[in-house]
Amino acid sequence: MKKLWNKDFVLLLQGSAVSTIGDLMYSVAIGYWVYEKTGSTSLMGIMSAVSMFVTMLLSPFAGSIVDRCNRKWVLVGMDLLQCAVMLTVGILAYLDKLNVVGILIAAFLAALGTVFYSPAASTLMIDIIPRDDMVRGQSIFSGSSSLINMVGTAFSGVMVAFFEVPLIVVINGLSNLYSAITELFVHVPRTVSQGEAVTVKGVLRDYKTAVRVIFDDPSLKLFVPFVLILNLLGAGPMQLILPFCMEKGFTVDMYGYLMSIWTAASLVAVIILGIVKLTPKIRFLVLSLGFTASVVFLTIGYLSVGFIIMCVFVFFGAFTNSAGNTVFNASMMLALPEENRGAILGFIQSACVGGAALSSVVYGVLGDVFPLYIVFAIGNALSLVPMIYFCFHPRTKEFILTH
């Protein structure tokens, strides 16, 4: 029987881990650079939204294309593209020729790579993880990312304070290169559609099929609009935490510690779910109570005055949110039909990222007018009503209990 800790899982896990370290340091460094140069939260929101809008518009089609391609070469090629983009940005930064326009172009190109990389990696994970270990496998994969984020975010804050942005950008490019090299040794199973010609007609046909499957399935038909709404109301603050911390009077180091606490909480949640095998009923309770509790904890956290108190509520908010997401994502992976899995994942990701992109822009614009802590708290509190409806809807319960 196939084991969870097989060669392919380990290779993909460690390659992703190294790449995540580079991406994390880059996001902190570039965010700090933009805010220091412009002082505008709306520009930061737009910068985050560029990559998200690319993902929103192209994900449904990218998933269909990936279904037809050799996923190994998609993974390797997109990592090499990311490497080239980051090294170019790093050189421009060293020459003091980097500007906001250049960063936006880099964000667009990097997003183009991610939009193809993501469905290739997600569908591959389904193939290399045993089905009865999907929750554990997803938890381990998420847990490694959380551990990296926990340590890396705090370290990135220190690096920004003591080192220059160009070095961090170059490190990110080299991390993508390492990831590409390790992916060469992963055995990637063929998909049902692999080898079929990639044509506009075929991609559009897959897109229509994905839409039909989603809207014919009572559960997926419920999930897509709610994913969009909940990300619109709640995702924006995560893109603007750095200016939020600076507005509160915190240092960039304290920002790093706050984000490390977020990821530490997420790590604890996925470790527990990776060790303990939950019954379907307990999984539903983890999802429903976790998601709703996270909204309450984070709203209080945004309104907190003291740094320590804020950290406590952020910890509990991140813990409950991560637990709910882990259960939901594992069930979703098991529910998707193999023949057009990439296209369906792309469509769902499009709704998710589309809401987050709009959220970044809206929160950024509002943040230029009102204090960010008020904007964060009100937006997050408004998400509580649709969150409760989604979590306790009979369709959601049936979906979790049967997958």
Residue 161: pLDDT band with limits 50, 70, 90? low
> Which residues, at least 6 apart from 265, have a Cβ–Cβ distance to it below 8 Å?
314, 315, 316, 317, 318, 319, 322
What is the SS3 assignment for the chain? CCCCCCHHHHHHHHHHHHHHHHHHHHHHHHHHHHHHHHCCHHHHHHHHHHHHHHHHHHHHHHHHHHHHCCHHHHHHHHHHHHHHHHHHHHHHHHCCCCCHHHHHHHHHHHHHHHHHHHHHHHHHHHHHCCHHHHHHHHHHHHHHHHHHHHHHHHHHHHHHHHCCHHHHHHHHHHHHHHHHHHHCCCCCCCCCCCCCCCCHHHHHHHHHHHHHHHHHCHHHHHHHHHHHHHHHHHCHHHHCHHHHHHHCCCCHHHHHHHHHHHHHHHHHHHHHHHHCCCCHHHHHHHHHHHHHHHHHHHHHHHHCCCHHHHHHHHHHHHHHHHHHHHHHHHHHHHHCCHHHHHHHHHHHHHHHHHHHHHHHHHHHHHHCCCCHHHHHHHHHHHCHHHHHHHHCCHHHHHHHHHC
Query: Which of 16-30, 83-97, 223-237, 322-336 shows the highest mean pLDDT?
Result: 83-97
Predicted pLDDT of residue 10: 72
Q: Closest Cα to residue 238, out of 166, 174, 325, 171? A: 325
| Dihedral of alpha carbons 249, 359, 376, 391, sign | negative
Mean pLDDT across 217-240: 80
8 A C-beta contact, residue 353 and residue 135:
no
**Better-scored residue on pLDDT, 119 or 307:** 307
8 A C-beta contact, residue 232 and residue 380:
no
Residues of the chain above pLDDT 90, percent: 8
Predicted pLDDT of residue 336: 67
**Better-scored residue on pLDDT, 378 or 23:** 378
Q: Which tens digits make up the pLDDT trace of 21-75?
A: 667 677 777 777 777 776 666 666 676 667 777 777 777 777 778 878 888 888 8
Ordered by start, the domain boundaries in the chain are 7-402
Residue 1: pLDDT band with limits 50, 70, 90? very low
146 pLDDT more than 60: no
Residue 342: pLDDT band with limits 50, 70, 90? low
- Between CA 170 and CA 162 the distance in angstroms is 16
Residue 218, number of CB atoms within 10 A of its CB? 12
Residue 255: pLDDT band with limits 50, 70, 90? confident
Alpha-carbon distances of 151 from 47, 166, 173, rounded to whole Å: 25, 21, 19
Alpha-carbon distances of 202 from 68, 207, 209, 272, 295, rounded to whole Å: 10, 9, 10, 43, 41
- Between CA 144 and CA 267 the distance in angstroms is 8
How buried is residue 185: exposed, middle or buried, by Cβ count under 10 Å (0-12/13-18/19+)?
A: exposed
**Better-scored residue on pLDDT, 145 or 13:** 13
**Better-scored residue on pLDDT, 299 or 125:** 299
- Between CA 214 and CA 210 the distance in angstroms is 6
Predicted pLDDT of residue 135: 59
Q: Closest Cα to residue 354, out of 243, 224, 242? A: 224
337 pLDDT more than 80: no
- Residue showing tokens 């529910």: 335
8 A C-beta contact, residue 307 and residue 288:
no
Which CATH number describes the domain made up of 7-402? Answer: 1.20.1250.20
348 pLDDT more than 90: no
Query: Which of 181-195, 263-277, 367-381 shows the highest mean pLDDT?
Result: 367-381
